[in-house]
Amino acid sequence: MPKVLVTGGSGFIGAALVRGLLAKGWDVRCLDDNSRGNPRRLAGVMDDLEFVQGDVRDAEVVDRATKGMDAVAHLAFINGTEFFYNKPALVLEVGVKGALNTLDSALKHGVGQYWLMSSSEVYQTPPVVPTDESVPFYSPDPLNPRYSYGGGKLISELLAVNYGRGKFEKTVIVRPHNVYGPDMGWEHVLPQFALRAKAAVASQPEGSVRFPIQGDGSQTRAFCHIDDFTEGCLLAYLAGDDQNIYHVGTPIETTIRELAELVVRCFGRDALIQPGAEPPGATPRRVPDVSKVGRLGYVPKVSLENGVRATVEWYAANEGLMRATSQ
Ligand SMILES: NC(=O)c1ccc[n+]([C@@H]2O[C@H](COP(=O)([O-])OP(=O)(O)OC[C@H]3O[C@@H](n4cnc5c(N)ncnc54)[C@H](O)[C@@H]3O)[C@@H](O)[C@H]2O)c1
């Protein structure tokens, strides 16, 4: 069986990818420090894989975990918008050292394939929407801590492409666009909406539910369910071409206002949206063109309505986990 190291394997996307790789017959080793990941996401498959608890910033740990692998899927990163603002140095340290350590070890041990998880944040505010993989990536303002994350991804991509060129059989980069689903973490718009809606509905038992949001709600994103994302990501990594970048997401554009209304409707109520101030560096519109991964056979299937409902239900039922797991 081919062997793969998945860094960030107890994270939201990592755990889904691990399950997908196991189902396809891969032998999986995970490396995660569980700082933001949690082994509960691997419940039911923990006995089918090897789990190494360790830090991707530690070159020796990465080296040991990489030895004997046929592929490295590098996902470990500090995700979550609020961390971009309040822990920018850590975001960059984990991003850059993690990329360098996994690449150095993969090259040293003759690993054939290097799969990087990048992000739509490399575009910041894309000049073309829907955005395909040829649109330039850049950092609009190095002084704004928000761009620590996008900058870390940008550097990771450059490292992967240039370290890997001519050395790996295959270097593939996936740029996920707004992946969501149950247990996706707490510092994202959908979980925060779900928990705020639960509280707002309880404290306003009658009429429309007053629901404050950042900005006027006209910002758009294209929300991709984790099941669709995992399928597209596996297609890109397993069937994609060397030195290629693939967007994985959905082309369906949703405003933040529509998302907020949908979340409140999951509790059987209508929302009265209350616009607020926007944080600096927020992006008005982001929607991927996914035709490149589409040519590999990718077709997203989960409707926003069904996907959001299941996610909101998970958060409403598991709120207690937030206090237990947040750092
Ligand atoms: N969720 C999305 O919509 C989205 C969008 C774009 C890109 N991504 C990227 O996909 C990847 C997975 O994201 P996610 O949403 O699953 O986030 P996540 O936080 O759930 O997963 C990241 C994992 O990395 C681990 N990690 C962090 N620092 C580490 C370190 N120093 N050493 C070892 N492990 C460490 C965390 O414990 C966590 O399990 C990340 O690279 C992220 O940047 C996610």
Q: What is the DSSP string of 169-181?
A: SEEEEEEE-SEE-
Q: What is the pLDDT of residue 279?
A: 76
pLDDT single digits (tens) 101-154: 999 999 999 999 999 999 999 998 899 999 999 999 999 999 999 999 999 999
- Cβ of 117 closer than 6 Å to ligand 1, yes or no, is yes
Q: If you measure from the C-alpha of residue 17 to the centroid of ligand 1, how many angstroms do you get, rounded to a whole number? A: 12
Q: Which ranges of the chain have pLDDT less than 70?
A: 281, 323-327
Nearest CA to ligand 1 atom 6: 119
Domains within the chain, CATH numbers bracketed: 3-179+222-248 (3.40.50.720), 185-221+252-285+303-325 (3.90.25.10)
- DSSP tag of 8: T
Residues with Cβ within 8 Å of 128's Cβ and at least 6 positions away in sequence, in order, are: 135
Q: If you measure from the C-alpha of residue 47 to the centroid of ligand 1, how many angstroms do you get, rounded to a whole number? A: 22
- Cβ of 200 closer than 6 Å to ligand 1, yes or no, is no
Count CA atoms within 13 Å of residue 178 on its CB side.
Answer: 24
Q: What is the pLDDT of residue 35?
A: 95
- Cβ of 93 closer than 6 Å to ligand 1, yes or no, is no
- Cβ of 288 closer than 6 Å to ligand 1, yes or no, is no
- Cβ of 292 closer than 6 Å to ligand 1, yes or no, is no
Nearest CA to ligand 1 atom 8: 119
Other Cβ atoms closer than 10 A to 158: 12
- DSSP tag of 131: B
Q: What is the pLDDT of residue 324?
A: 64
